[in-house]
Copies of this chain bind each other. A is one copy, B any other.
Amino acid sequence: MAVPVWSVDPRSGTQREQVAVEATAADIDAVVRAAHATREALADRDARVALLRGAAEQLEAVADELVSTADAESALGAPRLTGELARTTGQLRAFAEEVLDGGYLDVIVDHADDSAAPPRPDLRRYKLPLGVVAVYGASNFPLAFSAPGGDTASALAAGCPVVVKAHPDHPATSELAVAALRRAAAAAGLPEDVVAVVHGFEAGLELIRHPLVSAAGFTGSVRGGRALFDAAAARPVPIPFYGELGSLNPVVVTEGAARERSADIGGGLAASMTMGAGQFCTKPGLVLAPEGDSGDELLDALAKKVGEAAPGVLLDARMREAFLDGVRDRTALPGVQAPVAAGEGEANAVAAGFLTVAAERLVAEGEHDLLLDECFGPVTVVARYANEEQIAAVLARLPGNLTATVHLSEAEGNGDGGHGARLISALTPLAGRVLVNGWPTGVAVTHAQHHGGPYPATTSTSTSVGTTAIERWLRPVVYQNTPEALLPPELREENPLGLPRRVDGRRES
């Protein structure tokens, strides 16, 4: 019996429309097989470039409908979603450039050396697409992650067909986005089945277990992500599972920074933690701020700005409940204050707030460990420290993170006293991105970007944002003593595609 998939408006809590039905095991099998059958077509470099560029155009062509649908399903607002779409189209075009650049193929050529002992054969290595990729939609980024986002763009760029498991919070948006991608495929002369979308929780498990699925990308909760990671690892043939699961994103504000810029830092923190109603994976969730006057001033500025923040509607009713429960449980801990109380807002909205606690409560295992767990939504915890030892002690207790931030005084930034260097050294093992004097929300799509970090931030050492995200979907293969006529163009002696490569140890670019 078909299980209906409904689009729900989180502002009102009402069902908007039935979008689809949940995929059965037979549906998943058919979709994966159809995707698998497109691999050869996707191997064509020019077609992939056309697909990626065309996908950006097709998404732009339905921008109004995409943004309004995504807003109706997520309550994230048109300005934010318009920005997300621009990010996504920019990302698709950036990946088209990367495909043309070809550096991601990591071509390495070693010529034969008969004088070596033993003699060395001719070896030519590059990277091949893994096969069908399962992409699990993220609740909090209907456009920048999810169906048309970074996982899909990087997988298609690599030459991997994609089956999107739509997030239940935005099924209509996912359908619209995938339809646009399929139109782009057709326009590029590719089979539409290079990308498809399915719905349903069980369908997501069927997908990760399908023998023809070769890898998966995921952005979401630790619980959901770990369940899929475990399923991927337990397969007869295990596959890579690139999950981004959760992050506290610690921030350290030095005494010197607070003294110089308390209002700036308090205001910046308020803007970052309330952005998107606190539903960013990079939301600063734990801030170490000094005791004393400068720290008090920082908190005053934070309180003012957070108090002024408009209530926001969370992505769905379950998250709203988890947020309210999470705030209540944290606020009830001994010694925890709520200078601005997060909690229920009008209708389905929630109000932003923050909590404070003495850092020494966090230095040893105990009930306050709850404050070291991510609380999804517009709340953060400010832990007041008395000395540098307390900072180190709290940092040593943190799990892996996507980001770690430090705010330094000007002198500390110049290296004076070694305090800044010590803090950077302490933060680096905790995260995949270390920021100075900034805020972790907002993740630029560039070559150098790394959006990942020690578990549970991610389940691998890879990134889901930035052009190196493509590395996740490839595996190397080396050809030994293969006649020129039988080599792929990427590996031929004359380098007809002009690829950057390393030849006998020397780099050519």
Contact of B486 with A413 in the complex, beta carbons under 8 Å = yes
Q: Residue A505 contacts which of B408, B438, B447 (CB distance < 8 angstroms)?
A: B447
- Asked whether A500 and B505 contact (CB < 8 A) given A436-B480, A449-B123, the answer is no
Q: Residue A240 contacts which of B120, B438, B461 (CB distance < 8 angstroms)?
A: B461
A170 within 8 A of B: no
Interface residue ranges of A432-481 to B (CB < 8 Å): 432-438, 442, 444, 446-450, 452, 454-456, 459-461, 463, 468, 474-481
**Closest B residue by C-beta to A98:** B505
Q: Residue A436 contacts which of B428, B476, B486 (CB distance < 8 angstroms)?
A: B486
A26 within 8 A of B: no
Contact of A475 with B461 in the complex, beta carbons under 8 Å = yes
A459-B232 Cα distance, complex, nearest whole Å = 12
Give chain B residues whose Cβ lies under 8 Å from the Cβ of A234: 230, 233
Total copies of the chain: 2
A108 within 8 A of B: yes
- Asked whether A420 and B486 contact (CB < 8 A) given A446-B120, A478-B450, A481-B437, the answer is yes
Contact of A413 with B476 in the complex, beta carbons under 8 Å = no
Give chain B residues whose Cβ lies under 8 Å from the Cβ of A483: 408, 413-415, 420, 436
Contact of B478 with A432 in the complex, beta carbons under 8 Å = yes
Identify which of A57-65, A124-132, A260-268, A304-312 touches chain B: A124-132
- Asked whether A507 and B502 contact (CB < 8 A) given A110-B446, A436-B480, the answer is no
A125-B118 Cα distance, complex, nearest whole Å = 38
Contact of A444 with B485 in the complex, beta carbons under 8 Å = no
> In the complex, how many residues of chain A place their beta carbon closer than 8 angstroms to a beta carbon of chain B?
76
A165-B305 Cα distance, complex, nearest whole Å = 56
Contact of B436 with A450 in the complex, beta carbons under 8 Å = no
For residue A420, give the distance in angstroms from its CB to the closest CB of chain B. Answer: 5
A479-B432 Cα distance, complex, nearest whole Å = 9
A359-B120 Cα distance, complex, nearest whole Å = 33
- Asked whether A478 and B449 contact (CB < 8 A) given A436-B486, A444-B120, the answer is yes
Residues of A in contact with B (beta carbons under 8 Å apart): 83, 86, 101, 103, 108-110, 116-118, 120-121, 123-125, 128, 130, 229-230, 233-234, 237-238, 240, 399-400, 408, 413-415, 420-421, 424, 428, 431-438, 442, 444, 446-450, 452, 454-456, 459-461, 463, 468, 474-483, 485-486, 500, 502, 504-505, 507, 509
